[in-house]
Structure 1
């Protein structure tokens, strides 16, 4: 019977091969029906018992092995025919191969000429042979279902195979469930599992449609699983509040082992009381399984992040992430444990930890293919915070290409905000504008929740930089309301307050700065990150006011570097260096900036130009002497920024000089190069710097 089962598994391939041969034989190319007609005539003249034998073998019966009952009676004791003789006759006629399989053209002709009812009857008898001997149908079940056979035994086996693949290969599971429906499976009974498979394969629309058919039924079957899938789909769509509605509909009495997931969703939309109604953090797992323990620790970690010692939540979530990595299963989750652990690490100033957690989860395939982009984008965000911009770009690129479907709205929003952050750190204004346009569209497709506050903070700063604060104002209002409903948890609120401080500084608005500064000072008692950011905020205010102590600014800058914000620290030190009265203070601050941001460059739009200026000063001013281009190093820096289309103010911000000083530099460059007008200046700058492509000079620079 093992030989028989092996033949069944090869039936589909052989049939496809034989069909192709039947309609495109070497001697009949250009006349596809000729071969089929010849075979039909040959079969018509064949012994009737031989035709029955060939039909049985075409359906899936095999030699040696049981044959259909009617045919079996004609062989053996009392039979009128000899099986071996018939086989020899079929082989001699070129209808049967030596291995017992029917020639493709004969197989096709037989199946086409036989009434479908008779074919299905033989197929049901074949299924009975398998079930009576306790054998699995295997790939034969798929072939029978695709061939139109409706049989409860075939449907049950396909469902069982799909259930086995559901948590490891959702795409295969989705195909198997669809084939089970063809074989007569109950569409309502399988709806939740089919939706889970579709969601795991990234087919959110299909998953949502399937879940809708389940949730509107009077007594939905497998409602808990259906709620988990629906909440996961809504989370990926960037509409976590709709997931909260689903769990509220399900209710605590039906939530079962999914109680921690309901708590994660409800906390994510600011409903702590609702979360506690579903899940008590101190409650033990409903079962001792690895997955049950993973879910419980996920809920416990999120609850811990709201308390006075939120860092404890990181270790709990890392344990949950490790367990899910070991389980190797794909579950419908609103957020994976690794993503939550990374978010907590990023919110507490530990981007390196966030990066390592995400790398491990991606390597283990945590959450399946659907979860990979989210993990890669969080990894990219952690790299950006650590000033590893190229690593951030690589991870973001991989996130966009890891699957065959586009990024879901939640991930598209984070990716767009990441592009804004990278452009801002590079000081690339044209790129920032392009990234901002993408982010503006992405934010229209998502809503505010606790787990996407970092992108909103980055967009708040960029909006202030571009004078577009109105575009994000109502979203930020919702973010503050959400945090207020949760009691302003320090871990989640501090980074957003820091974004508010930076936006207020860019807008030169002390009134907007005050509440954020107060909140950071108040949170300093329970949050090291808050204490560092409060110190940095004071340093920024003193620098912009022109009344600062070099040691205070340097200390604040190095503290920023210590909490995973080296770019922010170097930027603070670079700005202070440009405003220092004493050369000694300038050199000290530039040295600090170099330590924090060693890869700084003029294109970085941050401290790179100031750092190079400091290097020139340390070399006795030699870098300011003209070379073969006729321009000093400082003039080259200004010239590059001119070719990028920056205004006097933007040039000053990039290399830490006043707009008037930038204007003087450009006037001196014109005289040195002998340029008569703007076009002439741009042409001469391209020659002097070896630049082939550049932006047009901004009218304000004319």
Structure 2
């Protein structure tokens, strides 16, 4: 072997897990000396990214042109013969790693810049090669610009990718301040609120922050997700009317949401045309208009406007920073208006379209769950809650965590599971410490108001409820938002046996009934409840009120009213009529709610029965009616025979058994029979 020959790479000692033997780079450097230096230069250029055939580094090309080194064909032949270069012109992995390891960093970067120049001269984009260059430590404004441009294209549709690209652009030398707002938008849209907050805080403290309007949009969206909408409103107020531009509708959402209508009017006029003729600009304008309509005395146009905005946003497929998505606001309006099925449809469409990106998914699923719960579809609600919990790889933001906690309280209250209700209440108490009251959180606060009254814990939520009433008062007590909250207050007063506390809310419902069908239904229901509590009920009026609740998406509430009235009915035919109404509205209604014909049921006041729930002091988890069904099951009765024995339909018997199986955790019929015997105890269980 002569001094000019190259030892084939296959003859090198065994490589380590990095693809080269310790010292292999130095060994290769010693081999590639003399005339072999030109081979090394060629291999290094190819390792950096130059390709054959194609332009070569200027220095190597100059030496080839001057004849200082042998021809390119000879260099390629020698590299291939040594096993360092494949037939397609690719440097073998170990050799490439060894060359890059031994070459001075400055030389490698100089070659990379030459390559970038060649790409630019030919008008060829760097593509993924730009990412490799940035991660390899090359600082070059052309690489940074290409990465920044790629990130901008991905920002509204793939914020996770955009976040990575912006980070790599910074490595390549991009301006940190100039990209801050966009980097924060990508982080927030991907669900990383902490990263977004850090970036925005560093931007907004500058004297003249670049891209400040976008930065404020991100800051407002982050504050809203943290459950602090008033801070979002403050950020828009700081931005001011002269700089607000296309973000004016978003400012209206934030400011009206915290009760500052005057501030919203100073920044946004609902009749103004969109900032531009684009789909997104029209979406934002319609969203702002819908919010204004919702707090007016005649809010009937608010929901159609917001549904249009949601449809347009679905079509735009953009992840913009928003205090609330159009779909979320539309769903809230539908729920407040007694149309939970419509709310569920809006949420399903928005989640299918990816409205608002990953960060918006959990809230849309949770509002879908609320819609299902209100329709008495408790299992569907639980499934939607599970979807919300796994919709994003980040934990739920405080606003959504609070909504989930209130949902769990509502589900436990409706299923009559008192131990679970108490645990859910404790979780909700913790969640409420991390959020504040705003217009878009009145539904969960209403649910917690009712539960607090049931558990005699009203003092825990009193100051939050005061804030809610003050917010509604600042907005002029808008009927669309206020009516369901007054209804929650009526229910809380009934549970607390507080006629004085009930009166103002009943009066508010009666006043709103002139213009609101929902208010009229709720006012009638409130009047029926008072008659039941006073023992002066008219069965026909109670039934009309209960079925009215069912028609406005509140079947559980209607069944509860009819059931309590049945327990107070003087005539058996009235009791049977009201029980039938309760079963129609809520087939799984428990006897603790729908009453029974026994003296114990007749002597239990309605609020006390609600407070007691369907669990018994013995901890079995079975109500008296369920125990009765359980005894018949243990006797081997069929659904039909059980129904005939205790005057219920076979379907109701089936529902009772299914509920007991779920509550007791039984996996099959044999397991259910065993658990029922244990739950009933030896004195109640039928003999085997």
TM-score range, shorter chain: 0.7 to 0.9
Unaligned runs of 5+ in 1: 1-20, 614-637, 656-685, 697-702
Distance change (3 Å), C-alpha of 1:118 and 1:34: closer
Out of 453, 460, 465, the position equivalent to 1:476 is 465
Match of 2:217 in 1: 228
- Is residue 2:651 matched to residue 1:690? no
- Is residue 2:129 matched to residue 1:140? yes
Match of 1:313 in 2: 302
- Is residue 2:9 matched to residue 1:24? no
How far apart are the structure 2 equivalents of 1:569 and 1:179? 58
- Is residue 2:368 matched to residue 1:393? no
What CA deviation, in whole Å up to 9, does each residue of 1:445-480 have, x standing for no partner?
Answer: 000000000000000000011110000000000000
What displacement does 1:64 show?
1.3
- Is residue 2:203 matched to residue 1:210? no
What CA deviation, in whole Å up to 9, does each residue of 1:234-288 have, x standing for no partner?
Answer: 0000000001110011001101001000011000000001101111111111110
- Is residue 2:536 matched to residue 1:547? yes
How far apart are the structure 2 equivalents of 1:567 and 1:654? 22
How far apart are the structure 2 equivalents of 1:286 and 1:56? 51
Distance change (3 Å), C-alpha of 1:248 and 1:86: same
Distance change (3 Å), C-alpha of 1:119 and 1:692: farther
Q: Is the 8 A contact 2:32 2:39 kept in 1?
A: no
Match of 1:343 in 2: 332
Match of 1:323 in 2: 312
Out of 518, 528, 531, the position equivalent to 1:529 is 518
3-state SS in 2 of match to 1:313:
helix
Match of 2:397 in 1: 408
Q: Is the 8 A contact 2:24 2:98 kept in 1?
A: no
Q: Is the 8 A contact 1:498 1:533 kept in 2?
A: yes
Q: RMSD in angstroms over aligned alpha carbons?
A: 2.6
Out of 275, 291, 302, the position equivalent to 2:291 is 302
Match of 1:662 in 2: none
Count matched residues. Answer: 614
Match of 1:676 in 2: none
Q: Is the 8 A contact 1:149 1:183 kept in 2?
A: yes
How far apart are the structure 2 equivalents of 1:39 and 1:572? 88
Unaligned runs of 5+ in 2: 1-13, 599-612, 629-670, 682-688
Alignment of 1:84-483 (within 5 A): 84-483=73-472
What displacement does 1:72 show?
1.4
How far apart are the structure 1 equivalents of 2:360 and 2:15? 46
Alignment of 1:583-662 (within 5 A): 583-601=572-590, 606-607=593-594, 610=596, 641-644=616-619
Q: Is the 8 A contact 2:614 2:621 kept in 1?
A: no
Distance change (3 Å), C-alpha of 1:693 and 1:209: farther
3-state SS in 1 of match to 2:56:
coil
Match of 1:569 in 2: 558
3-state SS in 2 of match to 1:690:
helix
How far apart are the structure 1 equivalents of 2:266 and 2:240? 9
How far apart are the structure 2 equivalents of 1:165 and 1:75? 43
How far apart are the structure 2 equivalents of 1:130 and 1:166? 25
Distance change (3 Å), C-alpha of 1:565 and 1:692: same
How far apart are the structure 2 equivalents of 1:151 and 1:688? 74
How far apart are the structure 1 equivalents of 2:680 and 2:523? 39
3-state SS in 1 of match to 2:312:
helix
Distance change (3 Å), C-alpha of 1:270 and 1:654: farther
TM-score, scaled to structure 1: 0.84
TM-score, scaled to structure 2: 0.85
What displacement does 1:311 show?
2.4
What displacement does 1:431 show?
0.4
What CA deviation, in whole Å up to 9, does each residue of 1:376-422 have, x standing for no partner?
Answer: 00000000000000000000111011111100000000000000000
What CA deviation, in whole Å up to 9, does each residue of 1:138-195 have, x standing for no partner?
Answer: 1111111111111110110010011001001111111111111111111111110010
